Each structure stands twice: as structure tokens, then as C-alpha cells.
Amino acid sequence: MLSQPLRLLLFVLNPISGDVDKSTLEATIRQYCEERGRTATFFHTSGSDDLASLRKHLSERSFDAVFAAGGDGTVSLVAEALTNSSTPLGIIPLGSGNGLSKDLGIPQEVEQALRLTWEYELRTVDTLRVAGMFSAHLADLGFNALIVERFDQGGVRGPAAYVRIATQEYVAYEPATYHIETDLETWEGPAFMLTVANASTFGSNVIINPDGELDDGQFEICLIEPFPSSAAPGLLYRLYTNGFDASDYTRRLCCRRARISVPGQTEVLVQVDGEPHHVATPVEVEINPSSLQVLVPANPSQTPK
């Protein structure tokens, strides 16, 4: 069901996300909104104290919705600022991965995503705290976290750069041993990678958590155990075809709280919503149920207000 019309909108823009030309974006958004009787205002991230600055901006004026126009990092920033509030999050996906927007079914083209300014449904979803950091989508330890860090350090963006880095790092990568305690069970063993999933799919379209839901009050820890190189093609095929659970090298733990440690290590690399961080262990994870309102595409038969 459509909610009330959105009139006053804030767009949070990251000028350097992904490989999208931002030179005309603001003018495009402003014109689109003006033609439909909406008022668009803008907040530009700078990379310095953005969360505090955005929260201050939001405290000084009320908006009907706040749109994150950028990649996964920008989306996570805006989502954190809006968590536990009545103001909904909209997403204009402009990054390299755009994982959360894909999980929510948001169009990946700018003008199609802008339809959410006047035609939308409201969905309430869960969020996570991972090592004290906010997460709206996915976090992981192990191989993918390493690739995200290498990707972040590089000067080239896009899927091709990610694949090149992954191929280079795979040859010498040594899986770590993890000890996981959840509110339901304990597991210990080596893992190629370990994903804390509040949703189902990476921005690369890898389905790491089949049947994962953003609003079920729980999250999943998705493990890929060490595998021989001969098994890599089959495993990769399953990850792209919703076959995660069919592999001999995968398992999932469902929970509401978890503590993840790496025996013998006091620090570990973790990527959270596309951003790499070195954090102390154990890594504490907890769900925050029904904490964020998000604008998602409405039934196309509905008419705009």
C-alpha cells in the first residue's frame, strides 16, 4: 500500500562513489523532482565526520525521506543516520556493487530509481551491529574481506578490477580457523570466508544466503569451508545460481547474536557494507529488529500522488 506523498526530500550525494559521472546528477534529480511537485535538497559527503554532520543536518530540518545517492558506503551511512527514526531511506544506486538496493528490488538506473520519490511502498527492515559498527546488509571475514580491502586500496573500480584482484589473491590465500558462539550453537573450524548476512545477495550477484530476509529478526552466518581448487568452478556456479546449501563446502548458522574469534589472533580484518576495517577480536554481532524504514518499488499499477 502506498504511503503519504513525499514532498520535501534530502539527497545525500557521494561525489566519488563507483565509476558514475556525477557532474549532471544533481541537476537531473532537481529537475525530476520539480516536475512532480517535490522539493529536492542536497547534502554532499566529504569523507570527514560525515555521520555526525548528516545527523546534525537532519536535526535542523525535517524531511519526508532521505535518499542515499552513491554506493554501499553511502547507503550504509544514511541508513545508520535514519535507524530507529520515522524517516524512511531511499536509494539511488551509483556504486560498484549496490548490494542492498539489489536485495530490495530497487532499479539500478537513476531515473527508474527516482520513481521512489512519488511511487513507493514502505518496508521496515532489520539492521546489525558488527564489532560496534552499523551494518544494513552484509559483513564478512576471510577471503572476501581481503579482496574488499585490496579493491579499496586500488585506483580502479568496477567488476573487472574486483575479479582481477580476487584471482591474484586466491593462489596464495590461507584460510583461518574461526570459533563462533551464537545464541543457539557453537561451531569451530577453518573457513575460506565467513559472511554475516542480514540479506541474501552480494552486489556481484553472488547469492551467499539463500532465503535470507531483511525483516525476519535474525541473521545468518554463512561459511565457505576450505575447498580444493578443482571444486572452485562448481562452487562458484552454485553461488550464482542459488545453490549455496547444495555444496559440500558450505554451511549456515541462524542466530540473533554471535561472537566470532580467531584463535591466536587479537585483530581481524572485517568488511562491513563494503568498507574494510581492522578490529579487535572477538567480533560481536547483534541484530536490531525492525529498526529501519526503506522505500521500495510499489505495485506498478498504482498511480502517483
Q: How far apart are CA 266 and CA 239, in angstroms?
A: 31
pLDDT of residue 284: 98
- The predicted-structure confidence for 207-236, as pLDDT tens digits, reads as follows 999 989 999 999 999 999 999 999 999 999
Q: Which three cell numbers stand for residue 13?
A: 550525494
**Strand 250-255 relative to strand 219-224, pairing:** antiparallel
CATH number of the structural domain 8-119: 3.40.50.10330
* Contact by Cβ (8 Å): 146, 269: yes
pLDDT of residue 3: 56
**pTM of the shown model:** 0.88
**In the chain, what are the domain boundaries?**
8-119, 133-290
- The predicted-structure confidence for 112-134, as pLDDT tens digits, reads as follows 999 999 899 999 999 999 999 99
Question: At which residue does the C-alpha cell 541537476 appear?
Answer: 27
Instruction: Round the CA-based radius of gyration of the chain to a whole number and report it.
Output: 19
pLDDT of residue 301: 40
pLDDT of residue 164: 80
User: How many other C-beta atoms can be found within 10 angstroms of the C-beta atom of residue 238?
Assistant: 19
Question: At which residue does the C-alpha cell 545468518 appear?
Answer: 220
CATH number of the structural domain 133-290: 2.60.200.40
pLDDT of residue 34: 93
Helix, strand, or coil (residue 248): coil
**Strand 121-130 relative to strand 65-70, pairing:** unpaired
Q: What is the enclosing helix (H) or strand (E) of 55?
A: helix 50-60
pLDDT of residue 305: 39
Q: How far apart are CA 101 and CA 71, in angstroms?
A: 9
Phi, psi (rounded to 5 degrees) for 93:
-70, 120
pLDDT of residue 240: 92
Instruction: End-to-end CA distance of the chain: give it in Å, rounded.
Output: 13
Q: How far apart are CA 89 and CA 100, in angstroms?
A: 12
Q: Which three cell numbers stand for residue 236?
A: 562458484
Q: Give which of 43, 109, 123 is closest to 292, Cα–Cα.
A: 123
Give pLDDT < 50 ranges for the chain: 1-2, 300-305
Q: How far apart are CA 141 and CA 268, in angstroms?
A: 8
Residue ranges in 208-288 assigned as alpha helix (H): 232-240
